[in-house]
Amino acid sequence: MKVFVVYCHPSKDSFTKNMCDAFVKGITDSGNEYVISDLYEMHFDPVMREEEYLRDAYYRNTPDLCEDVLAEQAKINESDAIAFVYPVFWTEAPAMLVGWFDRVWTYGFAYGNRTMKVLDKAVILCSAGNSLEYLEETGLLESMKKVMLEDRLKDRAEKKDFIVFDCTAREYELRSENWERYMKKAYETGLCFFSQEDGGAE
């Protein structure tokens, strides 16, 4: 299986970067392959241009898409699965990843008369500063899941999962205490989620 990893974090010295590295190692150790878009490293432009907006707003299925958008769409259609790895900023993905969806999920590709393939599997791995208990009690976790799983991914993948690595803010002692356990979890997700036996979760 070929996995397209969309990674988004502004710092190379972060828990999320280590988590992504462990996850990718799991993918390769399982005998699968991957291609990665490191959005900050590649200086992906998250800002939708006026012509891009007008194209989608008027449901124009025209071929005049930017090269960077076409490249990302090609990576999707050349893969069997997709993974998103990012930190939670104010209950959302970083602005660069939100902009990736704004620009890559175009009319005629991700909706309308779609040319985007239905992927076998999709998984979200996100690091959150707050505790999972807090995110659940406040309803923020459910909000994050709804946006990613029910809106952005929706029926674009057969099997989906959303995994949160909580208490990863640098102020928490739990960040260090959970480090090895979380790295193992990220690795095992890459190792097992894309196997034929494991279908993931809706």
Ordered DSSP codes for the chain: -EEEEEE--S-SSSHHHHHHHHHHHHHHHTT-EEEEEETTTTT---PPPHHHHHHHHTT---S---HHHHHHHHHHHT-SEEEEEEE-BTTB--HHHHHHHHHHS-BTTTBSS--SPPEEEEEEEEE-SS-HHHHHHTTHHHHHHIIIIIIIITTSEEEEEEEEE-S-STT-HHHHHTHHHHHHHHHHHHHHTTSSS-----
CA nearest 171: which of 131, 124, 126? Answer: 131
When pLDDT is cut at 50, 70 and 90, the band that residue 201 belongs to is very low
pLDDT tens by residue, 109-168: 999 999 999 999 999 999 999 999 999 999 999 999 999 999 999 999 999 999 999 999
When pLDDT is cut at 50, 70 and 90, the band that residue 196 belongs to is low
Q: What is the mean predicted confidence (pLDDT) over 40-54?
A: 98
Q: What is the mean predicted confidence (pLDDT) over 30-52?
A: 98
Domains with residue ranges and CATH for the chain: 2-192 (3.40.50.360)
Q: Distance (Å, rounded) from C-alpha 39 to C-alpha 163?
A: 20
pLDDT at 177: 86
Which one has a higher pLDDT value, 123 or 170?
123
Q: What is the mean predicted confidence (pLDDT) over 174-181?
A: 86
CA nearest 111: which of 147, 151, 140? Answer: 151
Q: What is the mean predicted confidence (pLDDT) over 56-63?
A: 96
Which one has a higher pLDDT value, 175 or 124?
124
pLDDT at 33: 98
